[in-house]
Chains A and B, each alone.
Chain A
Amino acid sequence: MDKILRINMGAEGGPKATAVPFGDYAGLGGRGLTSAIVSKEVPPDCHPLSDTNKLVIAPGLLSGTAGSMTGRISVGCKSPLTGGIKESNAGGQPSQVLARLGYGAIVLEGKPKGDDLYKIFINKDGVRITTDNRLKMLGNYDTVEKMKKEFGEKIACISIGPAGEMKLNAASVACTDTELRPTRHAGRGGVGAVMGSKGVKVIVLDDTDMNMRQPKEPEKFKEANKAFTDGLRKHGVTGEALPAYGTNILANILNEAGGYPTYNFKEGRFQGTSKISGETEAALETERGGVATHACHRGCVIRCSGIYNDKDGHYLTKQPEYETVWAHGANCGIDDLDKIAMLDFLDDNIGLDTIEMGATIGVAMEAGLLKFGDADGAINLIKEVGKGTPLGRIIGSGAAITGRVFGVERVPVVKGQAMPAYDPRAVQGIGVTYATTPMGADHTAGYAVATNILKVGGFVDPLKPEGQIDLSRNLQIATAAIDSTGMCLFIAFAIMDQPETFQALLDLINAFYGLNLTADDVVELGKKVLKMERDFNIRAGFTKEQDRLPPFFKTQPLLPHNVTFQVKDEDLDKVFNW
């Protein structure tokens, strides 16, 4: 993984691929690398769909190795949804395969002149870019089926659906899973629209005859990987809860806490939660012959995913995750898991961010376009997006635009990006991160990443009001660092509670690269990434006024606890004072 593959889609005579050394980007991976390239090479004031924007696809520092949990892939660009820098990441197979092919990143640059659609095939022999207009407006599932017929089944695909081709703000980039299904998505921020603007439908990766990346210190690496894996397996969250019930295990908890946004963030509890909870979902999957414990990429030991079958026992979609079940469920007043699973399938196939779509349909319901609880109406709306009807294009442009078009006041977005499944009035601390992260409202921007062990920012007194500001800052720093490793964020719980597992993670990186990184170095990496991202946004015209939640969070109390968002603006402005 010693080179970057730059593909100029607008080159004279047709797209041209060139492999170049890492150069100034040496030592970076995942989010660190995507944000470094975007921050340095993309004009901050460019139109996100113009030829000057770049789409950077980067495996993590440890992707392609034998290390556990190393299969996340980062997709970065200037976001058409937020207008700022974006890093969105996904699981699935492409990260491991791309890293084994020796590429630290693919950078799609320029823009083709015509309206041809391209596929890019990468294997040990090099890169082949061809037009394939048969793929136009195909869903992700059909696209991958065609690639399987053409290139065989030992491939991994990165693709866009019709939403990406139509350059809609909610378009995702799909990555195939271990069954070669396009179920893992870099969903946030409209990264699929940028891939569509480059005219690229699918990137097919084939690592046949390529070896796993080898560590500099094999024995130490093996030892550290065992300690790390053992740590994950023995922890209650990563070894039991997530494998048994998946991420949707959170539904009951957030509902009980009164922080489960319901009816477009009107209330904090949903009557039908027990019908759509992770516990119910897992039991249903097992009963129908699906799978409740399943890895999205090889090398994952947590296995928080699953296979969701329909009533007749046929594959419908992968296990819809917590955010998806919430967005299309409680947020829209829908308590039917089969309908939610269908919405999940449609989102994946059309290539849409499930959070953005659920939030957008909630806004459309608020506007009276359809009633809360109207599951079939919601399905039809997503189908409209896939067809590209005028209404579908509005919906596919996300919650902020839909809210403007239909005159809705309560639109849960920050920097134009829809808010995930935690109401910031009940959990004020996450509101601080929603407001201030360079990414727009994002629950993974300040994850529970061992700030206690990293000692990011020194001791924080959680009892003082400013503790929430300090914690949000520290969480954002730590998360930016982990996002750069290619590690799944779910390792957070084991490394937070078990210092020896955190040490094993450091040992893993050090043994692979022959380094002596300490926790302080990890913190510095996180700060560096955040600084680059903040700097890009400032140059793109962002001010502190964009680091705010929508006003309704301060004025409309949330039931059942009757709370509003209380963190002051001047405190939000302190988050990045370090």
Chain B
Amino acid sequence: MQNKNTFTNNLKNLCLLIEPALFPKFFEILQGGFMVKCRVGISIKTLLCEKLGLTPAYVMGRISTIFLDGKPVDDIESAVIKDGSSLALSAAMPGLVGATMRREGVYSSLRSSITYEEKHSNYLSKEGLISLKLYNLLIDELGPLLLKRGIFVKSTELSAFLTKQSDNFWRGCKEILLGGKPVERSVLQKSNLPAWYDWVYLTVLTG
């Protein structure tokens, strides 16, 4: 019998090939948070530029609002990703508070009580899991890349997401592979996933 607490032992691969028009349906998962496997003990900038392959210009110019463990980050070179960290990425936001949350923005002092501060400098670089959330413009721009690479989603959450989808959604799903084998949509519609696995490695391709 499997140990349900063991992440890798309770994992199933699910690959969906969808029509591009269906992509907005996955906003809910991308903004609600998902897990990715990556190096930890490295700075946010290193993660974004070297591990996710984003250009420094894109990171500096576009990802202007970043939260690490729920705290707005100013210095992405000193803030370090740890195993289990939660990282949220956003473009520039409206409103005074939107401007306040910006990295090193002119109004950042207005939220000084919650600003992220890195307490230590030496962290061991190793393989780990982090929670990632994408917001607003970055969902469109980074979402397809991450879904293509694959993300980890709690099977209860994925199941809740899949079972509420309409016929339109399923008609736009051209191919469904569960554990590498083609399955009918009815398998995913019957809330079976939570009973079988803790986590699903979800890959979504458009075409």
Closest to B106 in A: A452
Taking CB atoms and an 8 Å cut-off, the chain A residues in 426-446 that contact chain B are: 426-430, 433, 443, 446
Q: Which of A4-12, A106-114, A174-182, A244-252 contacts B (4 or more CB under 8 A)?
A: A244-252
A427 touches B65 (CB 8 A): no
Q: Which of A127-135, A541-549, A558-566, A568-576 contacts B (4 or more CB under 8 A)?
A: A558-566
Cα–Cα, bound, A429→B108 (Å): 9
B32 touches A429 (CB 8 A): no
> B1 an interface residue at 8 Å Cβ cutoff?
no
CB distance from A303 to the nearest CB of B (A): 13
Q: Which of A40-48, A160-168, A276-284 contacts B (4 or more CB under 8 A)?
A: A276-284
> A253 an interface residue at 8 Å Cβ cutoff?
yes
Cα–Cα, bound, A468→B106 (Å): 11
Cα–Cα, bound, A323→B51 (Å): 37
A426 touches B99 (CB 8 A): no
Nearest 4 CB-CB pairings of A with B? A429-B110, A462-B109, A448-B99, A274-B32
Cα–Cα, bound, A252→B72 (Å): 13
B70 touches A256 (CB 8 A): yes
Considering only CB atoms and an 8 Å cut-off, how many residues of chain B contact the other chain? 40
Cα–Cα, bound, A493→B100 (Å): 11
CB distance from B87 to the nearest CB of A (A): 10
Given A428-B111, A561-B114, residue A283 in contact with residue B91 (CB < 8 A): no
Chain A residues with Cβ below 8 Å from B101 are 253, 257
B109 touches A463 (CB 8 A): yes
| A/B interface sample: 29 pairs, CB < 8 A | A244-B136, A249-B93, A250-B94, A250-B98, A252-B135, A253-B65, A256-B67, A256-B70, A257-B72, A259-B97, A259-B114, A269-B70, A279-B27, A279-B136, A280-B28, A283-B27, A422-B97, A429-B107, A429-B109, A430-B97, A446-B96, A448-B98, A467-B109, A468-B112, A490-B94, A493-B92, A496-B99, A561-B114, A566-B113
CB distance from A548 to the nearest CB of B (A): 18
Closest to B65 in A: A253
Chain A residues with Cβ below 8 Å from B135 are 249, 252-253, 256, 277, 279
CB distance from B193 to the nearest CB of A (A): 19
Taking CB atoms and an 8 Å cut-off, the chain B residues in 88-128 that contact chain A are: 88, 90-101, 106-114
Tell which of A257, A287, A452 touches B67, judged by Cβ atoms closer than 8 Å.
Answer: A257
CB distance from A231 to the nearest CB of B (A): 14
> B187 an interface residue at 8 Å Cβ cutoff?
no
Cα–Cα, bound, A241→B133 (Å): 17
> B13 an interface residue at 8 Å Cβ cutoff?
no
> A155 an interface residue at 8 Å Cβ cutoff?
no
B97 touches A250 (CB 8 A): yes
B92 touches A241 (CB 8 A): yes
Taking CB atoms and an 8 Å cut-off, the chain A residues in 283-335 that contact chain B are: 283, 286-287, 304, 322
Chain A residues with Cβ below 8 Å from B108 are 462
> B137 an interface residue at 8 Å Cβ cutoff?
yes
Extra A-B contacts (14), CB below 8 Å, given A247-B95, A468-B110: A236-B62, A237-B92, A244-B137, A250-B95, A254-B97, A256-B67, A257-B67, A259-B114, A428-B111, A428-B112, A443-B97, A462-B109, A561-B70, A563-B114
Chain A residues with Cβ below 8 Å from B174 are none
Cα–Cα, bound, A433→B97 (Å): 12
B114 touches A426 (CB 8 A): yes
CB distance from B144 to the nearest CB of A (A): 15
Residue of B96, B108, B109 with most partner-chain A CB within 10 A: B96
A493 touches B24 (CB 8 A): no
A451 touches B31 (CB 8 A): no
Cα–Cα, bound, A269→B93 (Å): 18
A561 touches B28 (CB 8 A): no
CB distance from A140 to the nearest CB of B (A): 27
CB distance from B75 to the nearest CB of A (A): 13
CB distance from A543 to the nearest CB of B (A): 26
Write the A359-390 contact mask toward B (1 if CB under 8 angstroms, else 0): 00000000000000000000000000000000
CB distance from B112 to the nearest CB of A (A): 7
Chain B residues with Cβ below 8 Å from A443 are 95-97
B111 touches A257 (CB 8 A): yes
> B147 an interface residue at 8 Å Cβ cutoff?
no
Taking CB atoms and an 8 Å cut-off, the chain B residues in 109-161 that contact chain A are: 109-114, 133, 135-137, 139
CB distance from B35 to the nearest CB of A (A): 16
Taking CB atoms and an 8 Å cut-off, the chain A residues in 200-250 that contact chain B are: 236-238, 240-242, 244-245, 247, 249-250
Cα–Cα, bound, A237→B97 (Å): 13
Taking CB atoms and an 8 Å cut-off, the chain A residues in 462-515 that contact chain B are: 462-463, 467-468, 471, 475, 490, 492-493, 496
Tell which of B31, B91, B114 touches A277, judged by Cβ atoms closer than 8 Å.
Answer: B31
Chain A residues with Cβ below 8 Å from B114 are 257-259, 426-427, 561, 563
> B4 an interface residue at 8 Å Cβ cutoff?
no
Chain B residues with Cβ below 8 Å from A468 are 109-110, 112
CB distance from B36 to the nearest CB of A (A): 17
Closest to B94 in A: A237
Taking CB atoms and an 8 Å cut-off, the chain A residues in 115-174 that contact chain B are: none
Chain A residues with Cβ below 8 Å from B71 are 257, 561
Cα–Cα, bound, A493→B24 (Å): 27
Tell which of B24, B99, B112, B113 touches A283, judged by Cβ atoms closer than 8 Å.
Answer: B24
Given A468-B110, A471-B109, residue A258 in contact with residue B70 (CB < 8 A): yes
Chain A residues with Cβ below 8 Å from B88 are 252, 256
Closest to A445 in B: B96
Tell which of B65, B95, B109 touches A448, judged by Cβ atoms closer than 8 Å.
Answer: B95
Given A250-B94, A430-B100, residue A256 in contact with residue B133 (CB < 8 A): yes
Chain A residues with Cβ below 8 Å from B25 are 283
> A404 an interface residue at 8 Å Cβ cutoff?
no
> A270 an interface residue at 8 Å Cβ cutoff?
no
CB distance from A502 to the nearest CB of B (A): 13
